[in-house]
Amino acid sequence: MLTLTENASTIVKDIATRSAIETAGLRITSEGAPEPAFSVVTAEQPEPGDQVVEQDGATVYLDGVAAGQLDDKVLDATLDQGGKVQFSLLTQP
């Protein structure tokens, strides 16, 4: 199952708290192409069939394709010099 680094958990929580909805989190979807491409958006709740990852107060919703592709990954996040969030994927140890 996808796990989050401490940085990713903090950033996901910060993004979600901007919404007044308690169940808000990030939703990751995948096109399922030969080379996976992921889309990340803020979501108020999971869609039917989503896998829910909760870690250290952060919530991430994964569509079925993304859940399979990210099963052995770690989500990391940093802020660039302009304050934009940059997500990256690492392989679980």
| Residue % of the chain over a pLDDT of 70 | 98
Which long-range contacts (C-beta less than 8 Å, at least 24 apart) are formed by 11-20? 11/77, 11/79, 11/85, 12/58, 12/59, 12/60, 12/77, 13/56, 13/57, 13/58, 15/42, 15/85, 16/42, 16/58, 16/59, 18/42, 19/44
Q: How many domains does the chain have?
A: 1
Q: What is the tens place of the pLDDT at every residue in 3-42?
A: 999 999 999 999 998 877 888 999 999 986 677 789 999 9
- pLDDT score, position 35: 75
Rounded to two decimals, what is the model's pTM?
Answer: 0.90
Q: Range of 18's domain?
A: 3-91
Residue 55's CATH number: 2.60.300.12
